């Protein structure tokens, strides 16, 4: 499915920080280095502080040390307004196009009633069928909000295929490591990555039951 592809895996903060936890794990596991930062006037009006040093909120496009066909996008936040989201998505996708990326895979969370642990979407019928053939059930309805939805949805406008993988979560946890680990397992299987997901196990608490109430809007 992705044998001859140049892929960018994207995960920005959202519900349960599911996509961000997954991509940040990949950044460490694949020993990535930054090739370009992204800033936005629509990011939250604050700075990140680490050991006394401040840094503007930003996203980062990174390249693994030994993987020539993969890029990873992560970041501190998402823009707070719709215009800012579209502006940043345009800048990111234009950069990915210039890098030669063929497929954009965003990692997100799904809150709602389903018997599946992982759901997937794609921007064309052939790609959706390929996901299904890989044992990833398709999201049949709903919406994927925010940057993780936009980056996948707008990818065809820049000559790339768009995919979104969503892990089910209750939506009640600030950080859902268990859902992030399920995303990582799906990505590992799809791309044939040699990563040890068991390293996340110490951070995983007892599983929680998903809410019975169905949610119409499913955000990153």
Residue 1 resides in a domain? no
**Structural domain count of the chain:** 1
**Can you give the pLDDT at residue 133?**
92
pLDDT in tens, 115-163: 889 999 999 999 999 999 999 999 988 889 999 999 999 999 999 999 9
What span, in angstroms and rounded, lies between the C-alpha atoms of 40 and 82? 12
Range of the domain at 158: 7-219
Residue 2 resides in a domain? no
What span, in angstroms and rounded, lies between the C-alpha atoms of 217 and 9? 23
Mean pLDDT of the chain: 89
Which distant-in-sequence residues (6+ apart) come within 8 Å of 135 by Cβ? none
What span, in angstroms and rounded, lies between the C-alpha atoms of 209 and 217? 19
**Can you give the pLDDT at residue 203?**
64
Q: Which of 102, 105, 91 is nearest to 134 (CA)?
A: 105
The residue behind tokens 């969503």 is 166
pLDDT in tens, 66-119: 999 999 999 999 999 999 999 999 999 999 999 999 999 999 999 988 888 999
**Longest Cα–Cα distance in the chain:** 50
Residue 180 resides in a domain? yes
**Can you give the pLDDT at residue 217?**
38
Task: Find out whether 101 and 207 touch, Cβ atoms under 8 Å.
Answer: no
What span, in angstroms and rounded, lies between the C-alpha atoms of 73 and 7? 11
Q: Which of 188, 181, 218 is nearest to 19 (CA)?
A: 181
**Can you give the pLDDT at residue 189?**
92
Which distant-in-sequence residues (6+ apart) come within 8 Å of 193 by Cβ? 26, 30, 187
Query: Would you say how long the chain is, in residues?
Result: 220
How far, CA to CA in Å, does 105 sit from each of 49, 140, 165, 179, 203? Answer: 29, 18, 7, 17, 25
CA 192 from centroid of its chain's CA atoms:
17
**What count of other Cβ atoms lies within 10 Å of the Cβ of residue 202?**
7
Q: CATH no. for residue 31?
A: 3.40.50.10900
The tokens describing 6, both together, are 């140049």
Residue 145 resides in a domain? yes
């Amino acid at each position: 499915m992705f044998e001859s592809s140049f892929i960018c895996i994207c995960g920005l903060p959202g519900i349960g920080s599911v996509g961000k936890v997954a991509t940040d794990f990949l950044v460490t596991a694949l020993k990535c280095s930054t090739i370009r930062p992204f800033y936005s006037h629509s990011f939250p009006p604050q700075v990140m502080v680490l050991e006394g040093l401040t840094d503007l909120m930003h996203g980062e496009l990174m390249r693994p040390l030994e993987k020539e066909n993969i890029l990873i996008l992560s970041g501190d936040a998402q823009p707070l307004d719709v215009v800012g989201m579209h502006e940043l998505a345009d800048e990111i996708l234009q950069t990915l196009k210039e890098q030669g990326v063929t497929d954009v895979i965003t990692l997100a969370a799904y809150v709602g009633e389903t018997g599946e642990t992982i759901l997937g979407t794609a921007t064309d019928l052939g790609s959706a069928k390929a996901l299904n053939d890989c044992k990833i059930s398709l999201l049949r309805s709903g919406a994927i909000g925010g940057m993780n939805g936009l980056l996948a949805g707008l990818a065809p406008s820049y000559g790339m295929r768009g995919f979104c993988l969503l892990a089910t979560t209750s939506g009640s946890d600030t950080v859902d490591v268990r859902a992030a680990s399920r995303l990582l397992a799906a990505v590992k299987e799809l791309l044939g990555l040699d990563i040890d997901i068991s390293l996340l196990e110490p951070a995983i608490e007892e599983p929680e039951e998903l809410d019975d109430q169905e949610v119409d809007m499913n955000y990153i």
